[in-house]
Copies of this chain bind each other. A is one copy, B any other.
Amino acid sequence: MRDVAIVAAGMTRFGELWGASLRDLFVEAAREALINAGADQLDAIYVGNMSAGQFVGQEHLGPLLADHLGMAGVPAIRIESACASGGVALRTAFLEVASGASDIVLAAGVEKMNDGADVTEILATASDQETEVYNGATFPGLYAMIARAHMEKHGTTEEDLAWVSVKNHRHGALNDHAQFPRELTLDQVMGSAPVSEPLRLLHCSPVSDGAAAVILCPLDQASRYTDRPVVIRGTGMATGSMALADRADISFLDAVALAGGRAFEMAGIGPAEVDVAEVHDCFSIAEICCVEALGLAPMGEGRHCARTGETAIGGRLPVNTSGGLKSKGHPVGATGIAQAVELFEQLSGTAGARQVPDAEFGLAQNMGGTGASSVVHILQAV
């Protein structure tokens, strides 16, 4: 396989973007990436999207979006793995370039969630319809069960959960693209309305519109597009049991651990070498579970990281410097690509006020459902 680099990125602001349609959002992010690369043609397009069929009555996004980008003709494929759709689109784009089949590929993600649809009901279609949805489960409810299990097993507290939100909002306050770019106090989080106990409103990522895009090419062609390419050293993907009821220990995300292990093996590094990470904090408990499953914190110790500042900018291993899903927003199909955009900026030294000094290795972890699918990428500055 050829070495593959990310050479440019673009993204919209995330938020309730009532004035922009699905296609508008994609075109804005994709055009920014193309302009940043100085590229005017593509060999292929991969678009991560969870559920435009249900959200806005539009499937078949590949040709629609290629067409609206002015690139009808270019092969364009929609990839779906629920909230991991963006990360998986990055993986498939990587494989196409690595294979030698294509030299310049756009990996994008987009979701238009604010358009009048019943968001909670649509998101629930990422869990097991027959055993979970029909019995009334929603994602806040499922993650609340994960949180309870983690509390029982590891002594995690509601305050531990709240510190994740406080930290990520501190980071997001520095990010112009964030949906909620403002700080929160611990009291605000602890006092916010219960959604599904122990999860409160400010433990939950918001409903968002947005798009993100990165451009990939073989490393040996990267100098055509940028002086500061970022190499994709590892990609790992895994699935796990779809329904929580089928898992031995719901406080541990098997697919995240498996995907992380595969990505680390491919990259030839371990967790200790990671300098900056974006992990999938759809709910604050998820960040705690993910840093543990990835080996970025010892098992049972993940709950302390946000409070102690270990995972804050300036700490041992900054996590979710972008603000994460919590503060930056979570247009589900775009999230995995937005993680790659943040790491591209961090590793190319262009992250501004959020910059982690001298970051060499970055890790992005994206997952679908309650972690039934997960994909991990390891990126390196060159």
B-contacting residues of A (Cβ < 8 Å)?
1, 21, 23, 44, 50-51, 53-54, 56-64, 66-68, 71-82, 88, 92, 95-96, 98-101, 122, 125-130, 133, 237-242, 246, 254-255, 258, 368-369, 372-373
CB pair A77–B63 under 8 Å, yes or no, is no
**Chain B residues whose C-beta falls within 8 Å of the C-beta of A368 in the assembled complex:** 60, 62-63
Complex alpha-carbon distance, A160 and B62, angstroms:
33
A116 to chain B, nearest CB (A): 13
A237 proximity list for chain B (CB < 8 A):
44, 75, 77
SS of A interface (majority): mixed
In the complex the two chains form, what is the Cα distance from A202 to B59 in whole Å?
A: 26
Q: B50–A59 contact, CB under 8 A?
A: yes
A238: chain B residues within 8 A (beta carbon) = 73-75
B63 near A255: Cβ-Cβ < 8 Å: yes
Apart from the given pairs A62-B81, A64-B242, A77-B92, 17 other A-B contacts in the complex at a CB distance below 8 Å: A50-B59, A54-B54, A60-B82, A60-B126, A62-B80, A62-B88, A62-B368, A63-B81, A63-B255, A63-B369, A67-B246, A73-B238, A73-B258, A79-B79, A80-B80, A92-B95, A99-B100
List residues of chain B with CB within 8 A of the CB of A68.
242
Please tell me how many copies of the chain the complex holds: 2
Taking a contact as CB atoms under 8 Å apart, the answer to whether A128 and B241 are in contact is no
Q: How far is the CB of A68 from chain B (nearest CB, A)?
A: 8
CB closest chain-B residue, reference A83: B60
Q: Are B80 and A59 in contact (CB under 8 A)?
A: yes
State how many angstroms separate the Cβ of A145 from the closest Cβ of chain B.
18
